[in-house]
Structure 1
Amino acid sequence: MSAELERRLREEFARAAGHAPRPAADLRTRIETGHRRRRRRGSVLSAAATVAVLSAVAAVMVPPGERVVAARPSPTFAPATPASPRAHPVPPPVEKVWPGVVRTVPEKLPNGQPMRPERYLDDRSLLVRTEDGDRIHALWAYDVRKRTARRLVDVRSPRGTVVTSPFVAVGEGLLAWWTLRRHAGVRVVEIWTAPVTGGTQRQVATLKNAPQGIDLEIAGGRLVWSPWGREGVYRMPLTGGRAEQVAGSAGHTLLAWPWAARPRPGNRPTKEAAFGGLVDLRTGERSRASVAGGVCAVTWCVHGRTASRRDGGGRRELPGPTMMSVPALDRFVVVSHERTSEVLYDLATGKSGTLGPTVYSPVLDYRTPGLLVYARDGEQVVVDLKAIR
């Protein structure tokens, strides 16, 4: 490695420090887990996953004209050192705790292509994607009862695309996703839509202020997003047009419309909870979490083996440590139970269900649209979080 490349890498890491999570002692395990969750494809060697991540970082630093690969920011943060836990009983299987919300689906479509479930389109149809590397190949509607699939969109990515959005937004009768490519030395994000019933994709926006990617939603009849590596929430009409920054969003990151929060998790120790400062972008109302450390969603905050509401009330002792991820749907976390495998824990009710045995540790991302998906016995287990009451 040349001295010049080393210097450029150090500068890049310094610039990324405000966005990246603080490394933990089990970083290698987390890299492998995150890689496996994104692929949902069998067993992956931890060394290979580590090389893939380091390659993505190095690719960002390559000179102009060479291939650039963007890595999605991790939603997980280093846990605090836990206190000595008390013994917790092993929860019943998740199927017993929440009957009717768990289904199993194959790892592949009937045509043999590996599929990745995204979200439910209705009570029996899953939106699933097939992929070509880091790019969406096609979007499908998969019937969980008949185990049949219908192709919705043949996704066409522009030449030079290096990655597409990790999640597809759904709303107002549309599917929406983004692509990232390099053009004339500049990284460009483009937003695309297609009818949720199926059809041809349409380009609706080209963004030059989001050089790494975006978190995208459809809300209030508009496209809404936050750029990775930068701050603020932006929106535009579903048909395209001029993007505008939402008033009051400066310094904040989109959680779930209309909520945005700060500070973004970083690698510098702080007593303030990540996403502890909250703003309602419709009303301008602001609040700050009273809890120290950890990470918060709209209502709940998680810190090590404990959770509480933003005002400090409703304290719950969790049956194991978490990955310190933002609670999904503002209520669900996955914890590593001390006496069994991973457990899905509902902060709103205190109920929990065992997921195991699993092929790998499932990662619950707060940006996933209401699903927890993991591999078990050669199939994929799909937990419909939105159906849990």
Structure 2
Amino acid sequence: MTNNLEMSLAAELAAAARHAPRPADDLLVRVEEEHRRRRRHGVAGFAAAAAVVLLTAGAPFVIDAARGTPATPPPAVATTKAPVQEADPTYPPIEEVWPGAVHVVPATLPNGRPFRPEVFLDDHTVLVRTERDGNADKMDGLWAYDVAARTARLLVQVTPPPKTVVTASFVLADRDRLYWWTVRKQERKRIVDIWTAPRTGGTQRRLTTFEGVPGYGGIDLEIVGDKAVWTLWGKGGVFEMPLSGDTPRLLPGTSEYTLIGWPWAATPRHDYKQRSDKQVIFGDLLNIETGKRSKAPVEPFASCGISWCVKGGTLVGREGGARELPGMPDISPPALDRFLTLLQRGKDDGLRGQVLYDLATGRGADLGLRPAKKGMPTATLDYRARGLFRYDRDGEQVIVNLSAIR
């Protein structure tokens, strides 16, 4: 088995983990908390699974049906030298490729507190969050951080409700307000509260409350005009509610769908109960506004976004056309329907590092990271992050404003 195939398997398994349902019992609470802190789904289990797959595939043997013992395979009649794998193309550092969109900043605010970037408020200001004890479910502040001056201003003193167990993966911002959500325990139920505060700073206010979140799950939230729209983790269905308040309603025909970027929803989600090689994750696409549906033109195992599908190292357009990628992608949907991160192979067929790749222009940029271990991505691009890509490098944070890349 070549290292390239190992990269493919590991990358596909890691990506599938990010679409998995959240744990449903208390045994996995700490795993969920680590997921929440890292803003990505855990991949440890899939790394182990990948190792099993790779070891099994790398050392095949034949079972003698009569004796139930390993049989010696027949000697090869002829051997052919395996073709030499060429290294993936190299790209300049990300700071050189998109200088106006890339910002390298400290890991802490001027007051010494670690922070997590959430969304760009303008070209030089990022909304960031702070958390007590490094726990993502104990968010205590939202700040405006100036990436040029490296100064921070507190916007909202966040107070999670009692018995909060999960807090929003991402905080949203529209022209006037900020939005996030929490999940709390109430007897044996899980209650979701959606919160808002002024974009310029002020007091948080509860927008709505509802129950029905499975296990330690949550929601993926979007703000669309004067409505909040969301999908339940691990359960599907696209719901909406006016920002002025009302009873949430399930949008017709969406009970099996996951919101992937308004007005688009897709199915199926990754399902642990189904073999991954039988799935095209998010292969069936629905435009909620028009009712138009489309089916991905790829075979399992693959993963799709709005315009593109990824199968191994091949990019396939939903409307047709395919091309090879200069590396092995993390096959979650492209961010902004445009950007992927790719694991790259060096001359020795080993891992060289990662690049951020723009599907629209074909440009790529090296992230400046050490090679990933065991084929797993070092930096993870999440399509739900609304145009912000961040990763850790040499004790600092690299923040990329994807929306500013032309």
What letter corresponds to residue 343 of structure 1 in structure 2?
A: V
The aligned residue for residue 276 of structure 1 is 283
8 Å CA contact retained: 2:305, 2:333: yes
The aligned residue for residue 357 of structure 2 is 345
CA distance in 2, matches of 1:70, 1:228: 17
CA distance 1:61–1:375, change in 2 (3 Å): closer
The structure with the larger Rg is: 2
The aligned residue for residue 200 of structure 2 is 197
What letter corresponds to residue 384 of structure 1 in structure 2?
A: N
1:25-64 deviation line (CA, Å, top 9, x unaligned): 759x959x99xxxxxxxxxxxxxxxxxxxx97652579xx
8 Å CA contact retained: 1:70, 1:162: no
8 Å CA contact retained: 2:268, 2:281: yes
State the shift of 1:89 in Å. Answer: 2.0
The aligned residue for residue 381 of structure 1 is 398
CA distance in 2, matches of 1:123, 1:284: 35
For 1:59, which of 17, 26, 30 is the aligned residue?
26
Give ranges in structure 2 of 5+ residues lacking alignment.
1-7, 55-81, 347-351, 373-377
What letter corresponds to residue 232 of structure 2 in structure 1?
A: P
CA distance in 2, matches of 1:178, 1:159: 14
8 Å CA contact retained: 2:178, 2:198: yes
For 2:218, which of 213, 216, 219 is the aligned residue?
213
8 Å CA contact retained: 1:226, 1:253: yes
1:268-289 deviation line (CA, Å, top 9, x unaligned): 2344421111111111111111
1:213-233 deviation line (CA, Å, top 9, x unaligned): 000011122111000111110
State the shift of 1:75 in Å. Answer: 9.6
Give ranges in structure 1 of 5+ residues lacking alignment.
1-23, 35-54, 63-67
1:137-180 deviation line (CA, Å, top 9, x unaligned): 10000011211111011111111112211101112411111111
Mapping of residues 123-272 of structure 1, within 5 Å? 123-132=123-132, 133-134=135-136, 135-211=138-214, 212-267=217-272, 268-272=275-279
What letter corresponds to residue 300 of structure 1 in structure 2?
A: W
Aligned residues: 337
Which TM-score applies when normalising by structure 2?
0.76
The aligned residue for residue 12 of structure 1 is none
Mapping of residues 366-377 of structure 1, within 5 Å? 366-377=383-394
Residue identity over aligned pairs, in percent, reads: 47
8 Å CA contact retained: 2:392, 2:398: yes
What letter corresponds to residue 59 of structure 1 in structure 2?
A: D
8 Å CA contact retained: 1:60, 1:70: no
CA distance in 1, matches of 2:34, 2:399: 28
The aligned residue for residue 101 of structure 1 is 101
8 Å CA contact retained: 1:374, 1:381: yes
CA distance in 2, matches of 1:70, 1:164: 12
2:266 counterpart of 1:299:
no
Worse-superposed segment, 235-244 or 262-271: 262-271
Worse-superposed segment, 262-271 or 175-184: 262-271
8 Å CA contact retained: 1:253, 1:262: yes
The aligned residue for residue 308 of structure 1 is 316
Say which SS state the counterpart of residue 328 (structure 2) adopts: coil
8 Å CA contact retained: 2:391, 2:399: yes
State the shift of 1:74 in Å. Answer: 3.4
The aligned residue for residue 322 of structure 1 is 329
Which TM-score applies when normalising by structure 1?
0.79
Say which SS state the counterpart of residue 367 (structure 1) adopts: helix
Say which SS state the counterpart of residue 114 (structure 1) adopts: coil
CA distance 1:291–1:312, change in 2 (3 Å): farther
What letter corresponds to residue 355 of structure 1 in structure 2?
A: L
